[in-house]
Structure 1
């Protein structure tokens, strides 16, 4: 498991589905998307019979393994959204995500929430040429995050650092207090309008919600819906005060840089560096396996990158990974059609987006026309990924090409 989950101590699992059941809403997936949906539905309509089904335990997937960024980032730029949907809908989409960063904090769940923003470091001439014009100079950047070789930086206030494990486990406890039934250890075998078949029984429901993110391809008929691409992380031992005085991140700002192969990090509430990045291979046939969580070569690169950033030998205490869901056009979506609702495809920025998705799904399920239900991602359908072996060749070629471009920059 991740540092986030191990730091909480032993996980007490909830009971499995005890047999066939009826519900008003059946939610497949006990991560952020499924739990936020249950949370807002139960608050809006306490009489609803809401049932959450989770194969392992709540937070086992990306919700308990991510970098702990609640960010206002959206994988499709405002410019591209504007060209397709218009200027105002594009602005509304980005504004709603920025507000979702605050909404996660407003929920009041104890998760070490600290809204310090995010600093993206510029460290090569190539990165400097690509960076937005509105940026900090080297001195201003180092005042936030004193990394080596900084030429400048791009700062945004729309990001909060948090403890993902505390958030997802706390959220699961909250929905139960609201009357939602959560069954863990219950693997969904198939879903369709009005019915979810599991290894423990069948749930009949007016609305079925698919909230599986990187595990979506394991469902029959959804193999090419999202590509499960792995992101890996390391966490250090707690670092002493003199090291933090030199590094900075005094408001627990999250950090990244302008390289193409994404990296991400934060200063945890107990003064560790939690640091991750892409680079692990995509596996043929969209396979998701526990052994794919650990790639020694990628862990080594992460440790080297962190040491190079801050000029320290980092004492790594934890290593883990997990899959995230990537749609073919990199456009997350949320929707409801013919009794089946869905949300996901966050491309690794799902902590805040899943909160927005849960509120949007609530409005859609309750047939409410709101500002959220008019956002561009509502009922968007990405085209499916190519069949194998084209999918495997294309995604891994893209990963290798990205790494080569970053090497050229350096």
Structure 2
């Protein structure tokens, strides 16, 4: 099983693979959100362009069909990049990012794509221990320093939170309206259908073997193009030299059986809200359109950044997610888990996305979304389209854009075994921190010490 989402769209027909050599204006490697959105905005700007997408498996097979269904008006690491800018420029960038869910909604309405999109915002909850309240208030203070308003982020007290979400032990939440929930595989499949109707060619079961300036090759055929767009995210680990710059890590998610309306009244989430419990184990969830609770938590890493093709959760991986879900919602203790899956996503060394255009070699690429790619890919598609068409726009002037730069402008990851050792040490420390903080009898000195050590580890990684 790929995921709950992909199971629900399994009735879509399989497209043929590439059967002949091809000459096009733009060839895109990968039919996930980055590739699909790039093709969409290129076609919108210049419908006469010939565009081909080569997909190794099927549309949405990678992270685009395996995520938690959060369509975020946020970009990982954006605040650090925007902080040095003038206030006027920073606010313009804030608006650009926050508008992502609305832009996707506009496209879906215009193109009649049904993907269960509901913009109910997100609740970053302070729940299992008091440090979560402190951390959220620190985040809120930083947001105010970065010129966000109460319309962007605001504190909800316990009573206000209960009106939206009844998470056990929750003391409040940081609320932002700039997040929607979706069925991501429906968005990917719907977008692909729209592209084909507009003349974009999509070839499934067509893995790319090599790529270079002006040409992409498969096992039997080649595609010559004016522009090459590798849109492969974590699967860049299979395409040299991209394996040096994007590290494959794994998300892990479970979904319950459809819950009764009585059960949902005990939980909330009646307006399409996303939610997260604010520990470093990064738990997150949403209520699906068919009334399941979809719940994920911090993922994993294989030595050497090896991919997990179809992720079957181990007993231990299942147990962690069940524990966190039932800590948040004890009433789900006896509920059946019908789906469990994982996906590969890309972690860049600078821990923020990159949108790069090598004009000399006519290569454009984007990736490194750090698990927030459902929304970020839409912005990436608009940005890559503008870069390819040599437009000077607000999209192309953002600090995460590397215009007229080679692939080597990205920072490389350290070699193994350093990555593996660091990951294992960090993961063990974060699990230990959560155990200490969740035990309210832990002494104050111990709580402070373990949190400080985790701060140091996270700082070392960045």
- TM-score of the pair, normalised by structure 2: 0.85
CA shift, 1:284, in A, is: 1.3
- Please list, as runs of the form range in 1=range in 2, the aligned pairs for 1:297-336 lying within 5 A after superposition: 297-312=316-331, 313=333, 314-336=335-357
**Counterpart in 2 of 1:386?**
414
Q: Which consecutive unaligned segments of at least 5 residues does structure 2 have?
A: 141-153, 404-408, 439-462
Q: Residues 381-407 of structure 1, C-alpha deviation per residue, up to 9 Å, x if partnerless?
A: 441110111122122322222222222
CA shift, 1:119, in A, is: 0.4
Corresponding residue SS for 2:243: coil
Corresponding residue SS for 2:427: helix
> Alignment partner for residue 288 of structure 1, among 307, 314, 333?
307
Answer whether contact 2:126 2:170 (CA < 8 A) is retained: yes
**Counterpart in 2 of 1:183?**
203
**Counterpart in 2 of 1:127?**
132
Q: Which consecutive unaligned segments of at least 5 residues does structure 1 have?
A: none
Q: 1:262 and 1:70 mapped to 2: Cα distance? A: 16
**Counterpart in 2 of 1:107?**
107
Q: 1:184 and 1:92 mapped to 2: Cα distance? A: 38
> Alignment partner for residue 357 of structure 1, among 350, 366, 380?
380
Answer whether contact 1:231 1:278 (CA < 8 A) is retained: yes
Corresponding residue SS for 1:16: coil
C-alpha distance 283-172 of structure 1, shift in aligned 2 (>3 A): same
Q: Residues 341-366 of structure 1, C-alpha deviation per residue, up to 9 Å, x if partnerless?
A: 00110000011110111011111111
**Counterpart in 1 of 2:279?**
259
Corresponding residue SS for 1:379: strand
Q: Residues 258-291 of structure 1, C-alpha deviation per residue, up to 9 Å, x if partnerless?
A: 11121110001111101111143x1111111325
Q: 1:182 and 1:201 mapped to 2: Cα distance? A: 15
Q: 2:82 and 2:36 mapped to 1: Cα distance? A: 31
**Counterpart in 1 of 2:73?**
72
Corresponding residue SS for 2:286: strand
Q: Which moved more, 1:50-59 or 1:65-74?
A: 65-74
Answer whether contact 1:261 1:278 (CA < 8 A) is retained: yes
Answer whether contact 2:283 2:324 (CA < 8 A) is retained: no
Q: 2:356 and 2:54 mapped to 1: Cα distance? A: 19
**Counterpart in 1 of 2:393?**
370
Answer whether contact 2:249 2:299 (CA < 8 A) is retained: no
CA shift, 1:244, in A, is: 0.8
Q: 1:251 and 1:407 mapped to 2: Cα distance? A: 32
**Counterpart in 1 of 2:21?**
20
Count of aligned positions: 408
Answer whether contact 1:34 1:358 (CA < 8 A) is retained: yes
Corresponding residue SS for 1:223: helix
C-alpha distance 372-198 of structure 1, shift in aligned 2 (>3 A): same
